[in-house]
Amino acid sequence: MDVRVKHMVLVEPWGFPERPATGESERPIPVWIKALGAMLSPFNPLAGLRLVGPLGLTLVQTLRPDFKKKFASMFVDNTVSEYIYHLNVQTPSGETAFRNMTVPYSWAKRPMLQRVGSLRPDVPITVVYGSRSSIDGHSGSTVKEMRPGSHKIRGAGHYVYADQPADFNKKVLEVCRQVD
């Protein structure tokens, strides 16, 4: 069989861990969050952004000032906020797909950790994740045990490439050199 993928680099991949049993969670989910989630479940997460129209850009800038700060070394204006706004007010095909792949509180319906072992062993996988990420870092360690190639970037959150760009670029270049 012809291999068309030489190497996969997954950066902060979603959908690997299984949803923890209710009793296992560190903090119980407050009732008001469960109620809000139930009321909003028929809607895509960013429907409100589309609903407010042109005011959505101001909403993004107000609710997520961290985007501008995080990319301040590259952009002195509102380029990132504008990008996020325009990206998310389009037809919500990605959002719809995400909603269809999840169970409540954004856990994967079919977690990848259950299936990563069945991926072709001749296609290397590198998982890059931040040590302070909101995405489960334990999955990266588990994948590394199953298939070597997982790398934790110290001091980085979910936006690894922005939080620690030098370390991230170095790791990706290392992987690229191995493939060539």
Secondary structure element (H or E) that encloses residue 103, with its range = strand 102-103
Question: Residue 137: its pLDDT value, please?
Answer: 62
Question: Residue 142: its pLDDT value, please?
Answer: 77
52-89: pLDDT as tens digits: 888 888 988 888 888 888 888 888 898 988 888 888 88
Residue 3: inside a domain, yes or no? yes
Residue 50: inside a domain, yes or no? no
Lowest mean pLDDT among 34-38, 96-100, 129-133, 163-167: 34-38
Say what percent of the chain tops pLDDT 90: 6
Q: Which domain holds residue 158?
A: 1-18+111-180
6 has a pLDDT exceeding 60: yes
Residue 12: inside a domain, yes or no? yes
142-171: pLDDT as tens digits: 777 777 777 788 888 888 888 898 999 999
- Bridge-partner residues for 107, per DSSP? 103
Residue 150: inside a domain, yes or no? yes
- What single-letter DSSP state applies at residue 20? P
What are the tokens at 57? 């850009």
- Measured distance CA(126)–CA(147) in Å, rounded: 9
Number of domains the chain is built from? 1
Residue 86: inside a domain, yes or no? no
Question: Residue 94: its pLDDT value, please?
Answer: 80
What are the tokens at 39? 């009321």
